[in-house]
Amino acid sequence: MGENVEIYLRLKPVRAPSPCVSIDVSENQCVFDIPRDDLAGYVNNQREKYAFQFNGVLAPDAQQDEVFERCAAKVVTGALDGFNGTVFAYGQTGSGKTFTITGGVERYADRGIIPRAISRLYADIAKKTDGKYEVHVSYMEIYQDQGYDLLDPEHDTKALEDLPRVSVREDDAGDFHLQNLSTHRCESEEDALNLLFLGDTNRAITETPMNMASTRSHCIFTMQVERREVGSEIVRRAKVNLVDLAGSERVKKTDVSGKTLAEAKYINLSLHYLEAVVIALQERAMGGGRGHIPYRNGLMTMMLKDSLGGNCKTVMLATASPDHDSVDESISTCRFAQRIAMVANVVTINEDIDPALVIKRLKRENQELRDEIKLLSGVNDDRGALTESEIERLRSRVKAYVDGGGADEGEGLAADIGASMMKIKASYEIFREMVLRRGGGGGVAGVAAGGGEASTSPRSPPSPVVEPPGAFDDLREELRLMRERVRQRDAEINVLVGMLQRGEGGTRGGYRATAAVPLVDASNPSSTLRAIVGENENGNENDAASALPPADVLADRDRAFEHFKRAYAQNAGVERDKSTLRELYAKAKTLGERVNAARDEINAQKSKIEKRRVARALKTLSDADFDPECDAVDQAEERAKATIEESKCEYRTAFDELRDVKKEIDRLQLALDQSRRRLTTDFEKWLVMALGQQNGDGGPEETILTPGAARILGQTVVRPPGSAGPVARYRPLSAAEAEAADAAEAAAGAAAPTPAAKTSAATPAPVAKAQTREPMTELPMTGNAQVDADIAKFFAAKNLLMKRAEKA
Ligand SMILES: Nc1ncnc2c1ncn2[C@@H]1O[C@H](COP(=O)(O)OP(=O)(O)OP(=O)(O)O)[C@@H](O)[C@H]1O
């Protein structure tokens, strides 16, 4: 997609704006109307009116959020879609470039494009569900055409020379690569903001006294965004450059000498190179020029190669001061912007194939092909017979496959057989024997003894299999264990479903349907209760928990919970974790205060230095004899720098500690959440069992609950035909029954039962309702079509609830 660079003009608020400068925000125009008398000192004395057109004009009262939304937000959003982007500020010294790109330190609302871009990027990433995003950040300063890494964590920075130097390498395709510039992975917005703060602080304290109040260097903050789609080999990479260029004023006007002149020359030179690149691009856009774009001349132009004439959405923010003295510089800024607007970029999504994933896939395909070749050529099968252990391994694979039938087992079987025809045939033999013996053991004698040959020979018709004594014992035992496991799962499902329904605050506030629960080991009920509650602190079993609480405690869910919690072994650990968490919070608070205090101190010292430099700059202008080189060592500034240095150490130490504490808090909170969930689940199980046991009943197959007990559990009780008295047999409702119960309740206009936790055991309403229902028929599995359909419906409903429970 061909896209021209967008240009915006931002005027800085000044006390006395020149009457020569006017803007039309709705027309995006800025007009300089200069009386003929004033022309002598200005850029072109043949004209008196200059009108410049922009993509947008931001008036002096435009706020930082408007500037971000209009100029930079789309560039940030584009990066998430894989488009490179650059926003750069260009204008004379003091016109507001740094204020626009980085922001002011006084007010939160003054934060500039970089911190806002960081926040927006992470906020947008949080909303994305289409893949995994990673952000890397780098921050570089270019001073006298030399790059410096502002984010080097190793060095104790006192001067610019302390920072690592960045160099550029050009590859065969003419692309430039930065070397020795650190990039930092940022998991969160906070990480990225802290790096920005570190870079800004380094930038402030490495300014030389000769810099005065103006920035003599270019700064580039880069965010690289990488997106990987789940299950795809394609990776999208895009980078966003946020650039604060050095002041663009002319040397002759600033009338400086010595080191400042050298700096100004460098700045002018690099901006001159920038201008040369832009002019060459403009000529190319108009169909002329030599086609060569002189990016290679300077570091800044190499850095901006993609942004100017390359694959990048680029926005230029021209900043200008609308006061009388700055009119000529403002006109030249606007002229430069007009040239930039001619530059056309070709913007494409940066998608790449992730080589690691491709290698993995190719390796897999390769292996499959090798297997296929072996299979077709029978290479592997000229070896001897399968060994006993190979056959045993195959047997257990085949058995697992038959038992589980899941994808994993299937893959396991295929992986084990590989490309060996001999193993495939042996597997068929094992299948055959299993079918003939109905899953019984027995060797694959033919395979073992005769090897490949024996296994391939046609088999004689199956002879009637005589079951050897005890042949099925292990299978029966296995079956019994499996049934047991199924029953346990059912109990867990019921607890989950109940929790889900109560959590959802459904219309009825209680269990809709419940299966018979294998609640208590009939032979030793209290052992089951003990198993849930666990061992106490000393490693002894907890008798308090296995002892049933009094009936009135069990009848009140809240009190029952308190009873359970007191006895619950893991509760002591939870309480300990809670108190550790409280301590960690207090520690984090103190550390946070230390970080903020250090940050405030650094900012205060930074603005102190800035003010001193402004004062000295003014003195340079007003006092002809003042020599900035002689006044280079300003004691107060040196002290301020030393304080910044100390505060920086304090900031880093406190921040590192805070990060560690935060990680610990996150871990502990996760553990606590898990413990809380376990506590609730175990309580539900315990309550079901305790209530079942209280009734003096409960066996492996089903539990007898009184209607009151059922109500405490929040369950709907269905009275089977013929049952009478205070005891209700507790069994599943079919989906049809549940629907019928709903309809009956709605028709009766009855209020939904309150959540079980708050229902008193004496409240008869829900039970009375259950008792007045038509007696339901038991659900014998007789093959009766209607009954089977009901069962099927019930399980469908149960599965649905299970899925929702899992989701929840
Ligand atoms: N839009 C604005 N609103 C309020 N204050 C501003 C605005 N623009 C700039 N300023 C103030 O003007 C002063 C100079 O601005 P800034 O440092 O951003 O200029 P600059 O163009 O980056 O200068 P240099 O080329 O020296 O880096 C600062 O004190 C800044 O707070």
pLDDT tens digit sequence for 89-141: 999 888 999 999 999 877 888 999 999 999 999 999 999 888 889 999 999 99
Query: Which atom of ligand 1 is nearest to 246's Cα?
Result: 25
Of 374-383, 693-702, 733-742, 758-767, the poorest mean pLDDT is in: 758-767
Pocket test for ligand 1, best of 99, 249, 321 (most atoms within 8 A of CB): 99
Ligand 1 center to residue 637 CA distance, Å?
A: 21
pLDDT tens-place string over residues 274-298 = 888 888 887 877 776 667 888 888 8
Q: Shortest CA distance to 497 belongs to which of 517, 483, 522?
A: 517
Does 91 carry a binding-site annotation? yes
Ligand 1 center to residue 280 CA distance, Å?
A: 31
Q: Shortest CA distance to 219 belongs to which of 202, 236, 194, 238?
A: 202
**89 or 534: whose pLDDT is higher?**
89
Ligand 1 center to residue 360 CA distance, Å?
A: 53
- Percent above pLDDT 90 for the chain: 18
Tell whether the model's pLDDT for residue 442 goes beyond 60: no
Per-residue exposure over 525-541, b if at least 16 CB sit within 10 Å of its own CB, e if not: bbebbbbbbeebeeeee
In angstroms, the CA 80 to CA 129 distance is: 12
Q: Ligand 1: which residue has its CA nearest to atom 14?
A: 94
Q: What is the DSSP letter of 47?
A: -
DSSP line for 591-640:
HHHHHHHHHHHHHHHHHHHHHHHHHHHHHHHH-TT--TTGGG--HHHHHH
Q: Shortest CA distance to 90 belongs to which of 286, 308, 282, 351?
A: 308
Answer for the pair 53, 24: CB distance below 8 angstroms, yes or no. no
Q: Ligand 1: which residue has its CA nearest to atom 23?
A: 94
pLDDT at residue 700 in the model: 34
Tell me the pLDDT band of 431, cut-offs 50, 70 and 90.
Answer: confident
Sequence-separated (6 or more) residues with CB below 8 Å from residue 282: 339, 342, 343
CA 64 to chain centre: 28
Q: In which region does residue 505 sit, left (phi positive, over 0), alpha (psi from -120 to 50) or beta (all else)?
A: left
Ligand 1 center to residue 21 CA distance, Å?
A: 19
Q: Ligand 1: which residue has its CA nearest to atom 10?
A: 96
Q: Ligand 1: which residue has its CA nearest to atom 9?
A: 96
Tell whether the model's pLDDT for residue 153 goes beyond 60: yes
Tell me the pLDDT band of 774, cut-offs 50, 70 and 90.
Answer: very low
Phi and psi at residue 96, in whole multiples of 5°? 110, 20
Pocket test for ligand 1, best of 15, 67, 98, 263 (most atoms within 8 A of CB): 98
In angstroms, the CA 57 to CA 148 distance is: 33
Q: Shortest CA distance to 517 belongs to which of 737, 741, 732, 770?
A: 732
Does 92 carry a binding-site annotation? yes
Q: Ligand 1: which residue has its CA nearest to atom 30?
A: 99
2-353 to CATH, choices 3.40.50.150, 3.40.850.10, 3.40.50.10190, 3.30.930.10: 3.40.850.10
DSSP line for 197-257:
HHHHHHHHHT--GGGTTS--SEEEEEEEEEEE-TT-SEEEEEEEEEEEPPP---HHHHT--
pLDDT tens-place string over residues 494-517 = 666 655 554 433 333 223 323 333
How many H-runs (helices) and E-runs (strands) does the chain carry?
25, 19
Answer for the pair 564, 687: CB distance below 8 angstroms, yes or no. yes
Phi and psi at residue 21, in whole multiples of 5°? -105, 125
Ligand 1 center to residue 612 CA distance, Å?
A: 16
Ligand 1 center to residue 319 CA distance, Å?
A: 9
pLDDT at residue 169 in the model: 86
0.95 exceeded by pTM: no
Ligand 1 center to residue 266 CA distance, Å?
A: 21
Tell me the pLDDT band of 438, cut-offs 50, 70 and 90.
Answer: low
Tell whether the model's pLDDT for residue 594 goes beyond 80: yes
Q: In terms of C-beta density within 10 A (0-12 exposed, 13-18 middle, 19 or more buried), how is residue 665 classed?
A: middle
Ligand 1 center to residue 64 CA distance, Å?
A: 12
Ligand 1 center to residue 651 CA distance, Å?
A: 26
Query: Which atom of ligand 1 is nearest to 610's Cα?
Result: 29
Query: Which atom of ligand 1 is nearest to 64's Cα?
Result: 1
In angstroms, the CA 338 to CA 281 distance is: 13
**373 or 155: whose pLDDT is higher?**
373
Phi and psi at residue 98, in whole multiples of 5°? -65, -40
Tell me the pLDDT band of 736, cut-offs 50, 70 and 90.
Answer: low
Collapse the DSSP code of 757 into the 3-class scheme (helix H, G, I; strand E, B; otherwise coil) and give the result. helix
Does 97 carry a binding-site annotation? yes
Most confident by average pLDDT, 226-240, 322-336, 339-353, 412-426: 322-336
Compute the Cα dihedral for 656, 658, 659, 661 and give only its sign.
positive
Collapse the DSSP code of 497 into the 3-class scheme (helix H, G, I; strand E, B; otherwise coil) and give the result. helix
pLDDT at residue 133 in the model: 93
Answer for the pair 316, 7: CB distance below 8 angstroms, yes or no. yes
Measured from CB, residues less than 6 Å from any atom of ligand 1 are: 12-13, 91, 93-99, 104, 214-215, 246-247, 319
Ligand 1 center to residue 225 CA distance, Å?
A: 29
Q: Ligand 1: which residue has its CA nearest to atom 13?
A: 94
Does 93 carry a binding-site annotation? yes
Does 94 carry a binding-site annotation? yes
Ligand 1 center to residue 519 CA distance, Å?
A: 74
- Token pair for 518: 């294998």
Segment 132-161 mean pLDDT: 84
- How many residues does the structure list for the chain? 808
Residue 167: which H helix or E strand, with range?
Answer: strand 165-170
With tokens 């502990």, the residue in question is 668
pLDDT at residue 683 in the model: 79
Answer for the pair 521, 484: CB distance below 8 angstroms, yes or no. no
Segment 567-577 mean pLDDT: 76
Residue 415: which H helix or E strand, with range?
Answer: helix 407-417
Answer for the pair 298, 145: CB distance below 8 angstroms, yes or no. yes
Residue 8: which H helix or E strand, with range?
Answer: strand 6-11
Tell whether the model's pLDDT for residue 763 goes beyond 70: no
Q: Looking at this protein, which amino acid is placed at residue 6?
A: E
pLDDT at residue 504 in the model: 38
Of 102-106, 488-492, 698-702, the poorest mean pLDDT is in: 698-702
Does 95 carry a binding-site annotation? yes
Does 53 carry a binding-site annotation? no
Q: What is the DSSP letter of 519?
A: -
Tell whether the model's pLDDT for residue 167 goes beyond 80: yes
pLDDT at residue 748 in the model: 53
Segment 153-175 mean pLDDT: 78
pLDDT at residue 376 in the model: 67
Domain map (residue ranges) of the chain = 2-353, 364-471, 572-675
- Token pair for 454: 């024996």
Q: In terms of C-beta density within 10 A (0-12 exposed, 13-18 middle, 19 or more buried), how is residue 623 classed?
A: exposed
In angstroms, the CA 19 to CA 33 distance is: 8
pLDDT tens-place string over residues 238-277 = 999 999 998 876 544 444 555 555 555 555 677 778 888 8
Does 420 carry a binding-site annotation? no
State the SS3 of 467-486. Answer: CCCCCCHHHHHHHHHHHHHH
Most confident by average pLDDT, 461-475, 540-554, 626-640: 626-640
Pocket test for ligand 1, best of 12, 142, 329, 608 (most atoms within 8 A of CB): 12
pLDDT at residue 560 in the model: 82
Ligand 1 center to residue 98 CA distance, Å?
A: 6
Query: Which atom of ligand 1 is nearest to 11's Cα?
Result: 1
Q: Ligand 1: which residue has its CA nearest to atom 1?
A: 12
Tell whether the model's pLDDT for residue 437 goes beyond 80: no
Q: Ligand 1: which residue has its CA nearest to atom 26?
A: 214
Query: Which atom of ligand 1 is nearest to 102's Cα?
Result: 18
